[in-house]
């Protein structure tokens, strides 16, 4: 655990002055509001006003889903480090951070550093905007190139009034700052919606194909996975971001339709006798309208494998299993994607009766020296056998991992080590 | 589309080579595996028209592999020919019970092997 470094300078010792998990966020080391209440009260009564900046981290939620919470914790801890080094930037103003709920949005307190000086709103607005800008810039550098994350700032001034309970004043100021951040987020969302609409309207989706091989010496091709990408160099480039944005904006069906049209038109110029794996947004399967999508309009289904992520198994797998049953009766095959990534139980995967089980890259990467990952993959392999399903390992990037997968009896695989996604089909 | 191969699973490399040679001289193609895990992997990849399976192997033995083949909808129809070094009648009955279609006692005459393969494939 870190020692508290974010206490305001000259803060008066309160009941618990040393680092305590009840009053400090164990992830970031930030103090809670009650712990520094007295210091804030002193600052507010001395200067008449203090500023509250709300750093809204809601947008990072998608990243946490894609990665995991441990990864997210390290991002938060990193954010706090940056804020700490930022505070000197705004001298003579003083800035320190606290948490409301551990491991979530950050709250910064700004006060004049010089006696009898007063904080102005333009000053606070500037500090707030610059803080957001620097944090976002640092964040963009640190995140893997294909992901994105954005923070939103909001601010409000607390005007001290001895007639009012300070705690209430503070709570209301934090709420105003939060509303302010929310407003900014709504504006950005509207911009995202505009961009998404343009992508859908102009069909700015590229389709790449990544081959899936039989593992071993011969590298025979089982099929290709079709991957949809948004415009290069934009936040929408990766499928995860693209689709999660579309879901938030209620444009999922539109986007899916365009992606499928692009896949089918890419296949018009090149034919393959091998399987074609196509990803399908699970939430669409819960609506009857999925049958109106281009993929289902009577084309040959024989070589098409529909990939659904194992995450669907945790919603209502009976509804999904029914939809998959009807899809299968049309001649399609079904693959469960991201298996073993921790969302669904093996039992619920089994209920989906997949023809293929695709092992999550989270299990594949580093499997060569991770006994637990090996055990999970063995279990998935044995379950697949009992279901008469075939196993495909995803995200193979390392020779040692590849050899371990072969030793574990995994038949098929895909990944950068074998072949990067490309516009043309192989074989 | 090429004809699917015959799969030979035996931990003894020499037997593997010899059996493959006999079969290939008769015009069959073969794939080979030296253990059960690899055998099931090759089964998945090549979907062979027949499996020749050694009973005595470390870790996963022939009986176990045969039972697994019979339990999998995709492969349960594939004929299995068991190779055993033992003349134990109980062993042969066990092989039958596990779903083997026929068996051959080692050491065997190459002609007997070919005859059994031809008969199993004709069924």
For chain A, domain boundaries: 33-188, 203-413
Q: For residue A93, what are its two tokens?
A: 């103003």
Tell me what pLDDT residue A14 has. 47
Q: List the single residue in A with minimal CA-CA distance to B76.
A: A388
Q: Is the peptide bond before B107 cis (omega within 30 degrees of 0)?
A: yes
Tell me what pLDDT residue A291 has. 77
What's the CA gap between A296 and A402, in Å, rounded? Answer: 35
Tell me what pLDDT residue A6 has. 53
Condensed to tens digits (0 to 9), the pLDDT of residues A71-89 reads 888 888 888 888 888 888 8
Residues of B in contact with A215 (CB under 8 A): 41
Tell me what pLDDT residue A388 has. 95
- Whether B37 and A386 lie within 8 Å, measured CB to CB: no
Domain count, chain B: 1
- Whether A385 and B72 lie within 8 Å, measured CB to CB: yes
What's the CA gap between A254 and A200, in Å, rounded? Answer: 7
For residue A132, the number of C-alpha atoms closer than 13 Å in the C-beta half-sphere is: 22
- For residues A256 and A346, which has the higher predicted lDDT (pLDDT)? A256
Residues of B in contact with A410 (CB under 8 A): 41
Q: What is the mean pLDDT of residues A385-397?
A: 96
Tell me what pLDDT residue A9 has. 56
How distant is the Cα of A422 from the closest Cα of chain B, in angstroms? 24
B59 has a chain A CB within 8 A of its CB: no
For residue B1, tell me if it sits in a domain. no
- Whether B40 and A385 lie within 8 Å, measured CB to CB: yes
Confidence of residue A116 (pLDDT cuts 50, 70, 90): confident
**Which residues have a Cβ under 8 Å from the Cβ of A69 and sit 6 or more positions away?**
none
**What share of residues in chain B are helix, strand, coil (percent, to 5)?**
45, 20, 35
Q: What is the ipTM of this complex?
A: 0.84
A220 has a chain B CB within 8 A of its CB: yes
Mean pLDDT for chain B overall: 91
Fold of A203-413: TIM Barrel (3.20.20)
Residues of A in contact with B45 (CB under 8 A): 214, 216, 220, 411-412
Instruction: Give DSSP secondary structure letters for A189-229.
Output: HHHHHHHHHHHHHTT--EEEEEEEEESSSS--EEEEEEEEE
CB atoms within 10 A of CB A193: 16
Q: Are A402 and A408 in contact (CB under 8 A)?
A: no
B101 SS3 class: coil
- Whether B37 and A409 lie within 8 Å, measured CB to CB: yes
Condensed to tens digits (0 to 9), the pLDDT of residues A212-223 reads 999 987 689 999
For residue B69, tell me if it sits in a domain. yes
A407 has a chain B CB within 8 A of its CB: yes
Q: List the single residue in A with minimal CA-CA distance to B71.
A: A386
Confidence of residue A138 (pLDDT cuts 50, 70, 90): confident
Tell me what pLDDT residue A50 has. 93
- For residues A274 and A60, which has the higher predicted lDDT (pLDDT)? A274
Q: What is the mean pLDDT of residues A171-177?
A: 94
Residue range of the domain that includes B55: 6-122
Mean pLDDT for chain A overall: 85
A82 SS3 class: helix
Q: What is the mean pLDDT of residues A260-268?
A: 89
A410 has a chain B CB within 8 A of its CB: yes
**Cα–Cα–Cα angle for A55, A60, A64, rounded to 5 degrees:** 135
CATH number at residue B70: 3.40.50.2300
Fold of A33-188: Alpha-Beta Plaits (3.30.70)
Confidence of residue B7 (pLDDT cuts 50, 70, 90): very high
Confidence of residue A349 (pLDDT cuts 50, 70, 90): confident
Tell me what pLDDT residue A4 has. 47
Q: What is the mean pLDDT of residues B17-43?
A: 95
Confidence of residue A5 (pLDDT cuts 50, 70, 90): very low
- Whether B44 and A216 lie within 8 Å, measured CB to CB: no
Give bridge partners of residue B81 from the DSSP assignment: B52, B102
């Amino acid at each position: 655990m870190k020692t508290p470094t974010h206490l305001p300078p000259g803060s008066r010792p309160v009941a618990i002055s040393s680092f305590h998990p009840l009053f400090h966020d164990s992830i970031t080391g930030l103090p809670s509001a009650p712990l520094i209440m007295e210091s804030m009260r002193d600052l507010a009564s001395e200067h008449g006003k203090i500023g509250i900046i709300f750093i809204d981290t809601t947008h990072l939620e998608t990243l946490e889903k894609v990665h995991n919470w441990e990864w997210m914790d390290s991002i938060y801890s990193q954010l706090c480090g940056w804020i700490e080094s930022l505070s000197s930037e705004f001298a003579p103003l003083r800035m320190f951070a606290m948490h409301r709920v551990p491991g979530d949005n950050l709250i910064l307190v700004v006060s004049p550093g010089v006696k009898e000086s007063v904080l102005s709103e333009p000053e606070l607005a500037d500090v707030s905007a610059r803080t957001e800008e620097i944090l976002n810039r640092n964040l963009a550098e640190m995140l893997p190139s294909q992901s994105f994350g954005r923070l939103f700032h909001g601010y409000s001034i607390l005007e001290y009034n001895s007639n009012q309970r300070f705690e209430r004043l503070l709570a209301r100021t934090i709420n105003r700052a939060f509303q302010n951040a929310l407003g900014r987020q709504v504006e950005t969302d509207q911009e995202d919606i505009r961009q998404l609409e343009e992508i859908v309207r102009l069909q700015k989706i590229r389709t790449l194909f990544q081959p899936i091989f039989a593992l071993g010496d011969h590298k025979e091709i089982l099929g290709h996975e079709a991957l949809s990408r948004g415009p290069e160099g934009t936040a929408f480039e990766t499928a995860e971001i693209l689709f999660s944005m579309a879901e938030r904006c209620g444009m999922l069906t539109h986007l899916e339709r365009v992606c499928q049209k692009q896949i089918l038109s890419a296949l018009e110029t090149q034919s393959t006798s091998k399987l074609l794996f196509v990803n399908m947004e699970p939430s669409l399967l819960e609506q009857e309208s999925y049958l109106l999508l281009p993929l289902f309009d009577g084309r040959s289904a024989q070589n098409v494998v529909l990939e659904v992520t194992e995450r669907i198994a945790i919603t209502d797998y009976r509804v999904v299993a029914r939809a998959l049953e009807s899809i299968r009766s049309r001649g399609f095959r079904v693959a469960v994607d991201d298996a073993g990534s921790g969302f669904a139980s093996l039992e619920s995967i089994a209920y989906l009766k997949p023809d293929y089980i695709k092992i999550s890259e989270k299990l594949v990467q580093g499997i060569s020296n991770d006994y637990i990952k090996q055990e999970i993959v063995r279990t998935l392999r044995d379950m697949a056998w009992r279901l008469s399903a075939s196993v495909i390992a995803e995200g193979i990037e390392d020779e040692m991992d590849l050899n371990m997968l072969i030793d574990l009896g995994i038949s098929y695989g895909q990944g950068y080590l074998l072949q990067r996604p490309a516009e043309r089909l192989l074989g | 589309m090429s004809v699917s191969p015959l799969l030979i699973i035996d931990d003894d490399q020499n037997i593997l080579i010899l059996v493959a040679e006999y079969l290939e001289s008769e015009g069959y193609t073969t794939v080979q595996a030296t253990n059960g895990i690899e055998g099931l992997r090759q089964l998945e990849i090549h979907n062979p028209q027949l499996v020749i399976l050694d009973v005595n192997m470390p870790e996963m033995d022939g009986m176990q592999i045969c039972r697994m083949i019979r339990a999998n909808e995709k492969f349960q129809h594939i004929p299995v020919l068991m190779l055993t070094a033992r003349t134990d009648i109980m062993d042969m009955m066990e092989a039958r019970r596990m779903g083997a279609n026929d068996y051959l006692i080692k050491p065997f005459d190459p002609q007997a092997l070919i005859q059994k393969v031809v008969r199993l494939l004709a069924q």
